[in-house]
Amino acid sequence: MADSNTLGESATLALPIKSLVKRAPLFIDAGVTVAQAAHAMQAARVGSILIGSEPPGIVTDRDLRGRVLAANLGPDTAITRVMSHPLVTIDSDAPAFAALRLMLEENIHHLPVTEDRNIIGVISATDLLLLQRRNPLYLRSVIEEWDPTTVGVNYADEIGKLVETLDSTGLAAIHISKLVSSLNDALVKRLVVLAAERLGPAPTPFAWIVFGSEGRLEQTLLTDQDNGLIFQDDSAAAREYFAALAKQVVNTLIGAGFPPCAGGFMATRWCKPLASWRELFTRWIRLPEPQALLDAAIFFDFRPVAGTLELEELEEIITTAKSEKLFLSHLARGALDFHPPLGFFNRLRSDNGQLDLKKGAITPIVSLARLAALAAGSRERSTLERLEVAKATGRFLGFEEATALAEIFPMIFQLRLRAQLSARAAKVEIDHSIRLSDLTALERSHLKQALVIIQRVQKAMRTLWQLDRLA
């Protein structure tokens, strides 16, 4: 059980971000110099100042160090030359954890807070750090400063402790997963930069992609790697360079606590020029053979996290799937191959008292949501966002079915995280199963109802789309 001090510090993660605003925003005219802005910040004892330009900008103490002093600019430099704009802002009613995630994703340390489109204040990373003893922003700062010889050390343990703390606050597992995924993104970006520093400049633009639960922003405790590498122009030099980069990053991730993928879905194997990826994506859709369907289900959740190569071409190919009825039908049948563990009279069916939540509940929902999004031509990644698409479009999933799945998914996700944290505390292998004896009677009842809903949706889809008639 979490101690009262932890709960007192951490419960604020669910509070609206406006509760952290301590003072009115400090603005300065756009025509001032760097020296005048620095004097104003010093007088007000703040780490940032808003610039009254159109649109507004912001300058922080980090900007003064990095963009002025480090760049050998003088005190008479125009403030507009070093400010950041347009502003990244957050609504005052958003919860504190949303501000955490935004700061992590944008790699910023000051965040203006808006109310009715007006800026009412600025919160800093320090404000959020004070909420908890274990905070994602602290771990992000550690990642940014890690030395190549120590990067990855204790990362898995730090993530585990962070997830425990966030869970103790009552923060939903589905929200915890987004914060953890943002941190994992930051780690990968750091490792790619370090690898490129050792290898020298890349011979052609590239993108490091993640997929699976990381691609959907649904990873909590560290699981096996699912990543790939895409580079623009093919050549012998490019293949040699990116093979070396992939090897360095993958091996360092293993050292950080990310186990290698048993199926080999890692950049050390999936390192190809953009033209090859285009060919693969197109073939998977047009020739929906069993292996192609498996690969599509994995890679179509991809998300770029490092590098500068634009992947719009691949996005466009994926959106063409909405017109490929044979592909969608076969993908749908594959989604129905994952059966909820229910026996006669809808009794929970376990294996020695354990039930695999990923295989029997999470994967069926993830697969159905992915199918609905592809059928609608949507490129949403997360399962809940895809179910929102399904509710709005009615493609493959009706409004009621999508609503029901969206309601039960966070509960199942929460049960799995709790079981994983228990396994971590007991220092046993962490997997996706739960022990039914650890559930209360009410939890078992809710779980059974959720599995019945999944089964009902699957049966409805099988009948509606006549999937049993597919060759």
Residue 37 in contact with residue 57, Cβ under 8 Å? no
What is the torsion angle, in degrees rounded to the nearest 10, for the CA atoms of residue 56, residue 60, residue 64 and residue 68?
-30
How confident is the prediction for the chain on average, in pLDDT?
A: 88
Lowest mean pLDDT: which of 74-78, 214-218, 221-225, 291-295?
A: 221-225
Q: How confident is the model at residue 468 (pLDDT cuts 50, 70, 90)?
A: low
pLDDT at 3 over 60: no
Question: Quick one: average pLDDT of 402-413?
Answer: 96
CATH class held by domain 325-469 = mainly alpha
Residue 322: name the closest of 216, 395, 399 by CA. 395
Q: How far apart are CA 316 and CA 155, in angstroms?
A: 36
Q: What pLDDT shows up at residue 276?
A: 97
112 DSSP β-pair partners: 122
Lowest mean pLDDT: which of 146-150, 175-179, 225-229, 399-403?
A: 146-150
Per-domain boundaries in the chain = 4-129, 172-313, 325-469
Q: What is the pLDDT of residues 268-301, one digit of tens each?
A: 999 999 999 999 999 999 998 889 999 999 999 9
Domain 172-313 CATH (choose: 3.40.50.1860, 3.40.50.2300, 3.90.79.10, 3.30.460.10): 3.30.460.10
Q: What is the pLDDT of residues 52-70, one digit of tens each?
A: 999 999 999 989 988 998 8
Would you give the end-to-end CA distance of the chain in angstroms?
A: 54
pLDDT at 122 over 70: yes
Q: How confident is the model at residue 222 (pLDDT cuts 50, 70, 90)?
A: confident
Q: What pLDDT shows up at residue 467?
A: 64
Handedness of CA 343, 346, 352, 354 (dihedral sign): positive
CATH topology of domain 4-129: CBS-domain (3.10.580)
33 DSSP β-pair partners: 78
Q: What is the pLDDT of residues 11-28, one digit of tens each?
A: 456 678 888 888 899 999
Q: What is the pLDDT of residues 180-190, one digit of tens each?
A: 998 899 999 99
pLDDT at 9 over 50: no
